[in-house]
């Protein structure tokens, strides 16, 4: 069998052209330190998304690691990027030029890109150090682990995650005589809630991207715009750390499902909301700009994860002014989530040292240093507690993690190795579908189908 090239032209150009990748999945990386001057060239190089200031604030993680492992110097490099897609593009450019880090912190959006072309599987290390790692897996929901399985092997340990829940502005609800919905509310309940807000705030604000865009509405309608399958394998990981769990060797997205009737139904529902003035026409990009609008009572509802809590607090919103609910039910109440963790680059000459870094950052000690505030949702269940949210988070903060328990079929962002080109096609054609009448939805989805088929055909060529 021919060996796959670690970097294809499509991977490089696709990642470079991607706009508006979810910061969603996991907000900003939280488990790293600043650039450390003076380290030798033999240092373990860890690459993160963020600014130099972001990295400097996390030097405590690197310091704690080096105190425990004085023989492994660590050099943290922060790469400033507009979003995950921009970050991946810069990494791919670095790899192509021969400047290659040892470890990279990456989100679900890039997990299969790395697993397919750039990263080493962690299975042998995990099974060798199973007793040390048992505490981690006993504290982490298996759905998060399965999301980082790829073709039977585990490539990353999820450290933080966010599900697409529904944020509701309680000030807006109160002004309009509306009540907080129940946990099993339906899509029709959601529509009626938006009608009750109409003329006051923007009832529903959403972004045109994978996380919090069309995908949550596809998942609750028991469909996706891609064909979703499960890979075989992973039995040793599951039997060792989750005995009795029937899980797969990871998700596979193998082709287009864009013309399925339920995809059309979901897109038409959102188009109708926009047409009726119940939702804004979505913009591309992340949701950070929405924090001020939501905090000031100009937005009634929006999908987001636990990463919004700290931002709303810093924006002046009190816990009594908003709450979070599960995404409304349609045919199912399956949720979408994204996560993030470290990947070991296959080009590294320091794989053993890289594993020690990954193992350390997955410890509770390191994660408590990494997540002192609710700026994302820690994957360790024992950390999602009153002490993290009291005085800062909404009344029902427990729903962030409960999403995984209540809806065990919830799945990751549909992000195959060709994710950059896939999301570019999705964003462009969903924008077209929402810009006209009902007849335009079928044409836009047919165009999306052609674009996706071209992406998967070129990848297989």
pLDDT of residue 92: 86
How many C-beta atoms surround the C-beta of residue 329 within 10 A?
18
Yes or no: say if 180 and 395 are a contact pair by the CB < 8 Å rule: no
pLDDT digits (tens, 9 = 90+) for 32-66: 333 333 344 689 999 998 888 777 767 889 999 99
pLDDT digits (tens, 9 = 90+) for 317-373: 999 999 999 999 999 999 999 999 999 999 999 999 999 999 999 999 999 999 999
pLDDT of residue 8: 36
Cβ within 8 Å of residue 3, ≥6 positions away: none
How far out from the chain centre does Cα 355 lie? 23
Yes or no: say if 210 and 204 are a contact pair by the CB < 8 Å rule: no
Yes or no: say if 250 and 447 are a contact pair by the CB < 8 Å rule: no
Q: How far apart are CA 107 and CA 109, in angstroms?
A: 5
Q: Taking the alpha carbons of 92, 94, 96, 101 in that order, is the dihedral positive or negative? A: negative
Q: How far apart are CA 39 and CA 62, in angstroms?
A: 12
Please name every residue paired with 169 in a beta bridge, in sequence order, or none if there are none: 322
pLDDT of residue 416: 97
pLDDT of residue 59: 80
Query: Could you report how far apart the first and last alpha carbons of the chain are, in Å?
Result: 15
How far out from the chain centre does Cα 422 lie? 16
pLDDT of residue 449: 98
Instruction: Count the alpha carbons within 13 Å of 244 in the hemisphere toward its beta carbon.
Output: 0
Residue 378 CA: distances (Å) to CA of 331, 332, 398: 29, 26, 12
Cβ within 8 Å of residue 458, ≥6 positions away: 10
pLDDT of residue 285: 61
| Beta strands at 44-49 and 74-79: parallel, antiparallel or unpaired | parallel
pLDDT of residue 41: 63
* Secondary structure of 242-253 in HEC code, one letter for each residue: CCCCCCCCCEEE
pLDDT of residue 459: 62
Residue with tokens 């807000």: 197
pLDDT of residue 86: 84
| Beta strands at 44-49 and 103-107: parallel, antiparallel or unpaired | parallel
pLDDT of residue 71: 96
Q: How far apart are CA 373 and CA 310, in angstroms?
A: 7
Yes or no: say if 159 and 362 are a contact pair by the CB < 8 Å rule: yes
H and E: helices and strands count for the chain = 21, 15
Question: What residue ranges of the chain have pLDDT lower than 50?
Answer: 1-40
How many C-beta atoms surround the C-beta of residue 457 within 10 A?
10
Q: How far apart are CA 9 and CA 7, in angstroms?
A: 7
């Amino acid at each position: 069998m021919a060996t796959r090239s670690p970097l294809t032209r499509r991977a490089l150009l696709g990642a470079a052209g991607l706009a508006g990748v979810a910061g969603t999945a996991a907000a900003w990386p939280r488990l790293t330190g600043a650039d450390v001057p003076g380290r030798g060239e033999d240092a373990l190089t860890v690459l993160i998304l963020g600014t130099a200031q972001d990295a400097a604030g996390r030097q405590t993680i690197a310091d704690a690691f080096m105190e425990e492992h004085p023989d492994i110097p660590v050099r943290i490099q922060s790469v400033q990027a507009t979003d995950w897609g921009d970050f991946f593009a810069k990494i791919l450019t670095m790899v192509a030029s021969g400047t290659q880090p040892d470890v990279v912190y990456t989100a679900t959006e890039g997990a299969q890109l790395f697993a397919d072309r750039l990263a080493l599987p962690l299975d042998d290390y995990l099974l060798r150090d199973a007793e040390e790692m048992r505490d981690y897996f006993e504290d982490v929901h298996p759905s998060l682990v399965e999301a980082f399985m790829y073709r039977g092997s585990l490539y990353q340990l999820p450290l933080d995650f966010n599900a697409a829940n529904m944020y509701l502005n309680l000030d807006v609800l109160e002004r309009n005589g509306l009540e907080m919905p129940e946990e099993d509310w339906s899509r029709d309940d959601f529509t009626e809630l938006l009608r009750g807000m109409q003329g006051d705030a923007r009832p529903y604000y959403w972004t045109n991207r994978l996380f919090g865009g069309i995908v949550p509405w596809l998942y609750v309608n028991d469909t996706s715009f891609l064909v979703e399958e499960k890979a075989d394998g992973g039995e040793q990981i599951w039997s060792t750390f989750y005995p009795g769990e029937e899980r797969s060797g990871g998700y596979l997205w193998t082709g287009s499902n864009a013309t399925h009737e339920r995809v059309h139904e979901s897109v038409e529902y959102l188009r109708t909301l926009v047409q009726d003035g119940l939702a804004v026409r979505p913009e591309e990009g992340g949701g950070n700009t929405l924090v001020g609008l939501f905090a000031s009572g100009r937005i009634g509802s929006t999908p987001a994860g636990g990463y919004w809590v700290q931002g709303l607090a810093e924006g002046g919103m009190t816990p009594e002014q908003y709450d979070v609910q599960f995404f409304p039910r349609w045919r199912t109440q399956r949720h979408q989530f994204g996560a993030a963790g470290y990947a070991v680059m296959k080009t590294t000459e320091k794989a053993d040292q890289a594993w020690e870094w990954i193992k350390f950052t997955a410890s509770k000690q390191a994660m408590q240093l990494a997540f002192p505030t609710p700026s994302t949702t820690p994957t360790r269940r024992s950390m999602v507690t009153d002490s993290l949210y009291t005085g800062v988070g909404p009344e029902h903060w427990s729903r962030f993690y409960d999403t995984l328990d209540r809806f065990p079929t919830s799945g990751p962002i549909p992000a195959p190795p060709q994710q950059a080109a896939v999301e570019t096609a999705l964003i462009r054609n969903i924008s077209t579908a929402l810009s006209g009448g009902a007849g335009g939805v079928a044409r836009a989805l047919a165009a999306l189908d052609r674009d996706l088929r071209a992406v998967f055909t070129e990848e297989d060529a």
